[in-house]
Structure 1
Amino acid sequence: MNKVIKNLMIYMLIVLVIIALIQYASPTNTDVRELRYDELLASVEQGRVQEIVFQADGNTNYITGTLTRDNRQFSSMGPWPDEQLLQMVKEQRLPFRQIEPERPSWLLGVLTSFLPVLLLVFLFFFLMQQSQGGGSRVMQFGKSKARLQTDDKPKVTFDDVAGADEEKEELNEIVEFLKNPKKFSKIGAKIPKGVLLYGPPGTGKTLLAKAVAGEAGTPFFTISGSDFVEMFVGVGASRVRDLFDQAKKNSPCIVFIDEIDAVGRQRGAGVGGGHDEREQTLNQLLVEMDGFTPNESIIIIAATNRPDILDPALLRPGRFDRQIVVAAPDVAGREAILKVHTRGKPLEEDVDLEILARRTPGFTGADLANLVNEAALLAARFNKNKISQKELEDSIERVIAGPEKKSKVISEKEKRLVSYHEAGHALVGYLLPNTDTVHKVSIIPRGRAGGYTLLLPKEDRYYMTRSMLIDQITMLLGGRVAEDIALKEISTGAQNDLERATEMARKMIMEYGMSEKLGPLTLGRKQEAVFLGRDIARDRNYSEEIAFAIDQEVRNIIDSCYETAKKLLEKYNDALHAIAETLMEKETIEAEEFAALMEEQGLEANKGA
C-alpha cells in the first residue's frame, strides 16, 4: 500500500510540474491591437468602438476596449480624463466603465516566478531517492547487490534434495567445517575456499547451495554474476570489494555466486578481447578469493553450466579447490526426486514412480518438477481429487512432445499415412535386438509431430555400442520404409527421422571412429558458440579426399540400415498392416496391447542384454 501511495505522489508531482510549466511558459495574449491616442479618437468618432474600459495604476493610464468590426481587442495610452474623448463617448452612447487595479503582493510574484524551478528540483531529488533506495545512496553505484539470507524465510535442507547423494556428501564437509572447525584444524586440514558446482541446466545446483545455507545456519549471501557488471567503469570491481567486506564482517559465512560464467569468462579471448570492464571485475574477484589478504571462514560457492569457458586462474587450487559435477540423475535418483515433488500431493493407488523414473531418461530435477506440476494441472482440469498414473504419463509426453491436438482435423489419407509410418517405427523397433521396448504408439498429433512412438529403456545407458547405433538408425528409417512398402509413396513426414539418422551416422564416422575404412580417427573439431573464447567456426582438419570418404561411409551406413528395415517389413508385412489398422481404429496402442498384438502375429521380441 505504501508503494502505491508513493507512486501516486510521484504522478501527481509530475502532473503539477507540467501544469506549472505550461502556465509559466504560456505567452500572453498577442491578439490585441495597439492604437495611438489619435487613432483611438478617430475610431470612436467613426463608431468603430463597442466599449471603453479605463485602467489606472498610478503611473500609466490604459484605455482598452473592443472594436465593432471583428470583435478584436485594442489598447491605447492617453490622458485621463479627456474632455474630447468623454464627449465622444456620450454622443456615441458607448458603454463605459472604470477599473481600479489591485496591487499584487510581492510574495505572490516570487512564488509565480520560482515555483516551477522549485518543483523541478524537488522532483529530481525525490526520484533519485526512490530509484536508489534512499537519499544517502544516490551515487553509491559501487555497493554490492548481494542479498543476505534471513531466518524468517523457509529453509531448504538436504532432505529437500534428492538424487544427488555424492554431491550432498561433498558439500556436507563444508557444513561440518562451519559448525565445528576444530575438527579439521586438529588434523591440519584446511577447508576448500571455493566450491564450483557445474552441470546441465536444471540439475539442482542452486538448490544444493540453498541446502548448504539451510544446513549450516550461518550468514548466506547470494548474488548473480551479472549483478557485478554495470555500464559504469569500475563498478564491478567496487562491488566485488564491497561484497567481501560485508562477508568479512559476518564471517564465518557463505557467498553464493550464481551463473558465475557471466563474470568469470576466460580473459583476453573472444571477439574484441582486451582489458574490459568484465576483466577488471574478474581480476578483483581473483584477488579477493586468494590474494595477499586472506579470507578466513568465507566459503565461496559458485554455479555454472559452462565450466569450459571459465578462466583457468579461477579454477586453480586455492580459489575453487573443489569442483563438483551435478549431472542428470539416474533411475534411482529420478525416483527419489519424484518422491520429493509428489510429497504432500494426493496420489491414486495406481501411481508407480518406478515406471515414471524408467520412462524419463535424461530428465533433470527441474524437468521432473515440471512433470509433476503438469500432472496436477491435468488432474485439476478434469475435476479430479487425486493424481493418477495416467496424468503423470500424459505429462511426460506433454514435456517431451507438447500437448495433444485432438481437435486437429486430418483427412483419412493422411491418417492412413501416419498410421503406417508409426507402425513401421514400432515394428522395426520391436524386431531389432538392440533397441528399447515399445511402450506406446500413437497417431494423435503432439507439438509439431503428426504421431509418435515411445520406447521405454530398461536402464540408463552411458555408453552406446556400434550395434545399438545401427539399430537406432534402422528404426528411424522404418517409418519411411513402411510408407514406401504399404502405400507405394513417400512423404515429408520422415524429415526429422532422416535428419537424426544422418547426424547419428556422421557422428559414428567423424567422432566415434566406427568406420572400417577410415579407422579409429576423430575428424574435425567440434564447433563452439561464438564469443565464448573458443573456436568461432568448425576447423576442418582433413583433406577433400577424406571428406569424400566420410560422405561415402555415411551413405553406406544409411543404405545398409534402409535395406535391413525394408527386409524386416517385407517379411512381416501382415504385422505391419495389423498395427496400422489398429492405430487407425484406436489412435493409440499401449505397451500391453502392442505386446498382445505381436503375440497374435506370432512374433516375439529378441532383445539383447
Structure 2
Amino acid sequence: MNDDKEPQQGNPWVKSAMIWAGVVFALLLVVSLVENRDGATSGTAIAYSDFRSKIEGGQVKEVSVGPDHIYGTLNNGSKFSTVPVNDPGLIPLLDDYGVKYSGKAEEQPSFWMVLLYQSLPFLLILGVAFFVLRQMQKGGGAGGAMGFGKSKAKLLTEKSGRVTFDDVAGIDEAREELQEIVEFLKDPQKFSRLGGKIPKGALLVGSPGTGKTLLARAIAGEAGVPFFTISGSDFVEMFVGVGASRVRDMFEQAKKNAPCIVFIDEIDAVGRHRGAGLGNGNDEREQTLNQLLVEMDGFESNEGIIIVAATNRPDVLDPALLRPGRFDRQVVVPRPDIEGRVKILEVHMKKVPLAPDVDARTIARGTPGFSGADLANLVNEAALMAARRGKRLVASAEFEAAKDKVMMGAERKSMVMTEDEKKMTAYHEAGHAIVAVHEPASDPIHKATIIPRGRALGMVMRLPERDNYSYHRDKMYANLAVSMGGRVAEEIIFGYDKVSSGASGDIQYATRLARDMVTQWGMSDKLGPLQYEEQQGETFLGYSQSQRVHMSNETAKAIDQEIRRIVEAGYDRAKKVLSDFEAQLHLLANALLEYETLSGDEIKTLLDKGEITRDDGTKIKPSPIPVVGTSIPRSGRRGKGGLGGAAAAGA
C-alpha cells in the first residue's frame, strides 16, 4: 500500500464561499478604517450650547467654521466638533474672547471612496453569479447547483488506499476467474491479437459480507487502473431523466480515464425486471436501466471500460442485463469453507497482537457459515474484549468469548430471573442437549448455557464437525427431535399445565423444516417427490421465502397433515430419549443451575462419569436428584398425541 497519501481536498463550495467572504470582509474593513480616521480628526462631538459656554469660559483656543460642522481646539490641546445653528452673534463672540477662527470648506469624498461605495453591491452580485455558474459547469460532480444530471461516481486511485489480491482470501475460485480481467487491463494486445474480446461486464453474486466490493477493488489495485465506484441507488432520483443522464455522464468520465473499471454496488436497485411497475413503462428506474443497457452495448465503442457489479439478488435482475455482451460473466462469491476461513482469519489477525495459544484453524473449525465480514467482526470483537480486560495480547479465551457473542448474542447477566424461571430454563436446555447427545445424526454440542443471550433465556449451540453443503433425511429427523427436546423436558418435569412459551422458536424451526421436507425436498412418502412450493429468492442468502403453487384443497390438506405428522414424530423421538435418560436430564440440569455454562466436552464427560474436572482443578459433581422437589405423577404428564393448544399458544 502506498504510504504517500494525497492531502485531502476540501469542499469546493466551502472554499469558494470562504474566498468571497474574505473579499467582503476586506472591503468592510477599508470602509471602517476610513470612517475611524475621519472620526479621529473631527474630535469629540459636543452640543452647541456647551461650545458657547466654553468660549465664554476662555477654554477655546481656535475654531474652524464650516457650513455643516465647527471644528475646534481647546487650550489643553483636545479637539472637539459641533453642529452650528443660525447664530449671527458667533463671530462677535469669538472676537470678544480673542479666539482665533477661520473658515473651512466641507471635504468631498475621494474618488476611490466613491468608487468603493458604488461598486460594492455590484461586486457582490457578480460574485454570487460567478459562484452559481461555476457550480453548474464543474465536471464530475453532482453536488453543485443544477448538477442533478452529473454522475456521483467516485474515483479511487492507488493513493487512496490500494487493495490487491493479497488482501482477498478465502474465495480463490472467484479470484482466479477475475484474474483474466486483470491480465487484459495490463496487456490488452495479448488477447486482441488472437481475436479475443474481454467480457464487458462481470457480475459478482454472493450473500452480504462475502467480499464482493473488496474483490472489485482488488481488481483495480492489481491492474493499476482508475476505479470508479457508485451505488445503484445513486442513479435514481425524483426527477424524470436524471438517472439516464447520470449513466451517460458516468460513461463519459470513464472514457476519459480508460482503461478503467466502473464498479456498481447493489445493482439490483436499478436493474430489476422491467415491466413490473403495474403497466407504467415510463418509469424513471426503467429509463435508467435502458440507458445503462445502451451504454454497455450500443453503437459507440466503450473500449477499455469494464463494468463490475455486485448484488445478492441476481434473481430479480432483468434478463437483458445478463445476456452475453453485457454482464456475460457471473462470478459467484460464496461463503468460505474451512480453508478459506483460515486464510481470512490470518489476514485479519496480522493487525492484532496474538497470544501463543491462538490457532486460526481451531477458530475456523468452530465458525462454519461465517462470511469474511463475520470473521473480521470476530477478530475485532476479540481485540476489544482483550482491551477491556486490560490485556496486551489477544488470547484464545477472548476469541472464544467473541465467538459466543457473535453467534449467540451478548450476555445479559443483569437480567433478573426467579428461581423457578432458572429451573425451567435449565431443564429446557438440558432437554435439547440430552436429545442431541443420543441422536447419532445430530451435530455435536458446542456449548450449553442458561445465561440470557440476545433474546433467548438460554441456548444450546451445536456446531458441525465439517462444512455441510447438503442435509440428509436422518439429520433432519434428528434436528426435529432436538428442537422438540426442550418442550418435552418441560412436560416431563413440570407437567402439562406448567409448559411455558419458551419453545416458540423451536416450534417455528421444526414447522419450517417439516414444511420444506414435504413441499420442496420430496421427503414425504405420502405426497411423493413433487414440488408443492416455489422458492422466492436465492438459497444462499440463509433464508428463503416460499409460495404455494396452485393445488387442490385435498392436496393442501394432505400437506398440512404430513407436516404435522413429521413434527409429531420428532416430538415422540425426543420424548422416548428423555424418558429413557431422565436421570441424565436431572444431572445436566443441576450442573447448568450451578455453573450456568458448560462446553460440549464437559457435557459429554459429565454424562459418562458423573463429574467434570476443569482446567483450574475444580470438580463439578452435581446431584442427580431432581431440583423441582417431589416427582410429578405420570398422570400429570402429557400422553402421546398431537401438539395441542399449549404448543400453539407458545408459538
Match of 2:160, SS state, is coil
Note the 1:99-178 alignment, pairs <5 A: 138-178=145-185
Counterpart check, 1:334 vs 2:305: no
Q: 2:532 aligns with which of 523, 530, 535?
A: 523
Q: How far is the alpha carbon of 1:132 from its aligned partner? A: 8.9
**Residues 248-295 of structure 1: CA deviation (Å, up to 9, x unaligned):** 222222111111112111111144542222212111111111111122
**Distance (whole Å) between structure 1 residues aligned to residue 130 and residue 592 of structure 2:** 71
Match of residue 358 from structure 1: 365
**Distance (whole Å) between structure 2 residues aligned to residue 116 and residue 452 of structure 1:** 74
Match of residue 554 from structure 1: 563
Q: From the superposition, tell whether residues 188 and 593 of structure 1 become closer, same or farther in structure 2 (CA, over 3 Å).
A: same
Q: How far is the alpha carbon of 1:130 from its aligned partner? A: 7.1
1:557 is matched by which residue type in structure 2? Answer: I
Counterpart check, 1:590 vs 2:599: yes
After alignment, is 495-504 or 399-408 more displaced? 399-408
Q: How far is the alpha carbon of 1:221 from its aligned partner? A: 1.6
Q: From the superposition, tell whether residues 132 and 392 of structure 1 become closer, same or farther in structure 2 (CA, over 3 Å).
A: farther
Q: How far is the alpha carbon of 1:231 from its aligned partner? A: 2.5
Note the 1:428-577 alignment, pairs <5 A: 428-488=435-495, 489-527=498-536, 538-577=547-586
Match of residue 55 from structure 2: none
Is contact 1:268-1:275 (8 Å) kept?
no
Is contact 2:518-2:559 (8 Å) kept?
yes
Match of residue 347 from structure 1: 354
Q: How far is the alpha carbon of 1:232 from its aligned partner? A: 2.5
**Residues 151-201 of structure 1: CA deviation (Å, up to 9, x unaligned):** 312211001000000011011111111112222223332211111101111
Q: How far is the alpha carbon of 1:453 from its aligned partner? A: 0.6
Q: 1:369 aligns with which of 376, 401, 408?
A: 376
Q: How far is the alpha carbon of 1:554 from its aligned partner? A: 1.1
Is contact 1:473-1:558 (8 Å) kept?
yes
Counterpart check, 1:195 vs 2:202: yes
Match of residue 609 from structure 2: 600
Match of 1:526, SS state, is strand
Match of residue 237 from structure 2: 230
After alignment, is 430-439 or 217-226 more displaced? 217-226
Match of residue 36 from structure 1: none
- Structure 2, unpaired ranges of 5+: 1-8, 26-85, 87-105, 539-544, 612-651
**Distance (whole Å) between structure 2 residues aligned to residue 115 and residue 190 of structure 1:** 62
Q: How far is the alpha carbon of 1:12 from its aligned partner? A: 9.1
**Distance (whole Å) between structure 2 residues aligned to residue 440 and residue 403 of structure 1:** 15
Match of residue 416 from structure 1: 423
Q: From the superposition, tell whether residues 135 and 225 of structure 1 become closer, same or farther in structure 2 (CA, over 3 Å).
A: closer
Counterpart check, 1:379 vs 2:386: yes
Match of 1:594, SS state, is helix
1:437 is matched by which residue type in structure 2? Answer: P
Match of 1:417, SS state, is helix
1:242 is matched by which residue type in structure 2? Answer: D
Q: How far is the alpha carbon of 1:539 from its aligned partner? A: 4.7
Structure 1: which 4+ aligned runs deviate by more than 6 Å? 1-13, 111-125, 127-136
After alignment, is 200-209 or 248-257 more displaced? 248-257
Is contact 1:143-1:242 (8 Å) kept?
yes
Q: From the superposition, tell whether residues 400 and 285 of structure 1 become closer, same or farther in structure 2 (CA, over 3 Å).
A: same
Match of residue 217 from structure 1: 224
**Distance (whole Å) between structure 2 residues aligned to residue 10 and residue 214 of structure 1:** 37
Is contact 2:277-2:283 (8 Å) kept?
no
Match of 1:567, SS state, is helix
The TM-score normalised by the length of structure 2 is 0.72
Match of residue 205 from structure 1: 212
Q: From the superposition, tell whether residues 344 and 240 of structure 1 become closer, same or farther in structure 2 (CA, over 3 Å).
A: same
1:168 is matched by which residue type in structure 2? Answer: R
Counterpart check, 1:280 vs 2:290: no
**Distance (whole Å) between structure 1 residues aligned to residue 443 and residue 596 of structure 2:** 22
Q: From the superposition, tell whether residues 10 and 483 of structure 1 become closer, same or farther in structure 2 (CA, over 3 Å).
A: farther
Is contact 1:132-1:138 (8 Å) kept?
no
Q: From the superposition, tell whether residues 490 and 127 of structure 1 become closer, same or farther in structure 2 (CA, over 3 Å).
A: farther
Q: How far is the alpha carbon of 1:246 from its aligned partner? A: 2.0
Q: How far is the alpha carbon of 1:540 from its aligned partner? A: 4.2
What CA RMSD, in Å, does the superposition of the two structures yield over aligned residues? 3.4
**Distance (whole Å) between structure 1 residues aligned to residue 567 and residue 117 of structure 2:** 87
**Distance (whole Å) between structure 2 residues aligned to residue 235 and residue 551 of structure 1:** 50
Is contact 1:200-1:327 (8 Å) kept?
yes
Match of residue 67 from structure 1: none
**Distance (whole Å) between structure 1 residues aligned to residue 260 and residue 305 of structure 2:** 5
**Distance (whole Å) between structure 1 residues aligned to residue 161 and residue 276 of structure 2:** 42
Match of residue 300 from structure 1: 307
Match of 2:308, SS state, is strand
Match of 1:439, SS state, is strand
1:568 is matched by which residue type in structure 2? Answer: V
2:568 is matched by which residue type in structure 1? Answer: D
**Residues 504-535 of structure 1: CA deviation (Å, up to 9, x unaligned):** 11111111111111111111333569xxxxxx
Match of 1:494, SS state, is helix
**Distance (whole Å) between structure 2 residues aligned to residue 135 and residue 309 of structure 1:** 30
**Distance (whole Å) between structure 2 residues aligned to residue 449 and residue 502 of structure 1:** 19
Q: 2:396 aligns with which of 389, 399, 415?
A: 389
**Residues 70-116 of structure 1: CA deviation (Å, up to 9, x unaligned):** xxxxxxxxxxx9xxxxxxxxxxxxxxxxxxxx9xx9x99xx999999
Match of residue 642 from structure 2: none
Is contact 2:136-2:147 (8 Å) kept?
no
Match of residue 45 from structure 1: none
Match of 1:482, SS state, is helix
Match of 2:196, SS state, is coil
Q: How far is the alpha carbon of 1:456 from its aligned partner? A: 1.8
1:521 is matched by which residue type in structure 2? Answer: L
Q: From the superposition, tell whether residues 586 and 326 of structure 1 become closer, same or farther in structure 2 (CA, over 3 Å).
A: same
**Residues 417-476 of structure 1: CA deviation (Å, up to 9, x unaligned):** 111011011110011011111111110000110011111211111111111111101000
**Distance (whole Å) between structure 2 residues aligned to residue 591 and residue 538 of structure 1:** 38
1:514 is matched by which residue type in structure 2? Answer: M
- Structure 1, unpaired ranges of 5+: 17-80, 82-101, 530-535, 603-609
**Residues 222-241 of structure 1: CA deviation (Å, up to 9, x unaligned):** 22212222232222222222
**Distance (whole Å) between structure 2 residues aligned to residue 5 and residue 165 of structure 1:** 45
Q: Percent identity among equivalent residues?
A: 57
Note the 1:313-324 alignment, pairs <5 A: 313-324=320-331
**Distance (whole Å) between structure 2 residues aligned to residue 447 and residue 472 of structure 1:** 22
Match of residue 75 from structure 1: none
